[in-house]
Amino acid sequence: MTVHVQKLGEQVTERVARRIVNEEISAGQNAPSEQEIINEFGVSKGVAREVIASLVTKGLINVQHGRRPKVRAVEEWNVFDPLILEVQDNPEVLRRMVLAMNELRSALEPEIAALAATAATDEQRATLRALLERMEERPDNLLELDVAFHLELARATQNPLFVHVIESVRNLLRVSVERRADYVQRELEGVPPYHRLIFEAVEARDADAARKAMREHMAMAGPIWTSEQG
């Protein structure tokens, strides 16, 4: 097993990013400068520059020559960056991100299911069946299997852009669900077997049925993702 040890620059980047993402520093306000990072964290100038460069890459700050770094608006962030998702501690910020995720999934996933119904290979259908059968056993890793099922549907469209989007969104999905411990129990309570309905439509090469089942699944999932944690 490989253990990732964070470098000093990564640690400082995470701490500053956490402040920005959780709105301790608002859009348009000054972000920490190189000198302030050096003073606060006791790092070298090279590490401070690395932190600034990383924050720029993630879309969190804007740097102009001779001026203080400024925090950018959330619409300009690389919101699929794993760090931005991982450092969200503010419940309201997380709720807004999950709402946005649900809107995106609701728009895309029904069409992904419909395309998968007509484009999936026999091997991909077999993979979906295997994932479904494991999900129906209700194992401890149900979330991972759920994510894998949706990702395999995206692959089955034969469109790599759909795969990229679902790969990116699943990071936020994990963050949300990991902070909502009742997910599995709520998934079990009186919910129609949407994954089976989706799979059976894909197996039958019925795009309309796949689209309908996925749309209903997304409508059911929305309240779970966006409800307040009890």
Q: For 2-111, where are the E strands, in sequence order?
A: 61-62, 70-71
Q: What is the pLDDT of residue 6?
A: 66
Q: What is the pLDDT of residue 89?
A: 78
Asked whether residue 72 falls in the same domain as residue 99, the answer is no
Q: What is the pLDDT along the chain (230 residues), one digit of tens a residue?
A: 343 446 899 999 999 999 999 989 999 999 999 999 999 999 999 999 999 999 999 999 999 888 899 999 988 998 878 788 788 877 777 777 778 888 888 999 999 999 999 999 999 999 999 999 998 888 888 778 888 999 999 999 999 999 988 888 776 666 555 555 455 455 555 567 899 999 999 999 999 999 999 999 888 876 665 554 44
Asked whether residue 64 falls in the same domain as residue 100, the answer is no
Q: Are 63 and 37 in contact (CB under 8 A)?
A: no
Q: What is the pLDDT of residue 230?
A: 40
Phi/psi of residue 179, each to 5°? Answer: -95, 5
* Residues whose CB is less than 8 angstroms from the CB of residue 25 and which lie 6 or more positions away in sequence, other chains included: 19, 31, 71
Asked whether residue 99 falls in the same domain as residue 190, the answer is yes
Domain extent, residue 143, equals: 90-226
Q: What is the pLDDT of residue 202?
A: 98
Asked whether residue 22 falls in the same domain as residue 61, the answer is yes
As a whole number of angstroms, the distance between CA 116 and CA 166 comes to 14
- Domain assignment present for residue 180? The answer is yes
Overall domain count for the chain? 2
Q: What is the pLDDT of residue 3?
A: 39
- Domain assignment present for residue 1? The answer is no
As a whole number of angstroms, the distance between CA 68 and CA 87 comes to 24
Q: What is the pLDDT of residue 91?
A: 76
- Largest separation between any pair of C-alpha atoms in the chain: 63
CATH code for the domain in which residue 34 is found: 1.10.10.10
Domain end (from 60, 82, 104): 82
Asked whether residue 117 falls in the same domain as residue 150, the answer is yes
Angle between helices 45-57 and 34-41 (to 10 degrees): 120
Burial of 46 (0-12, 13-18, 19+ CB in 10 A): exposed
Asked whether residue 129 falls in the same domain as residue 222, the answer is yes
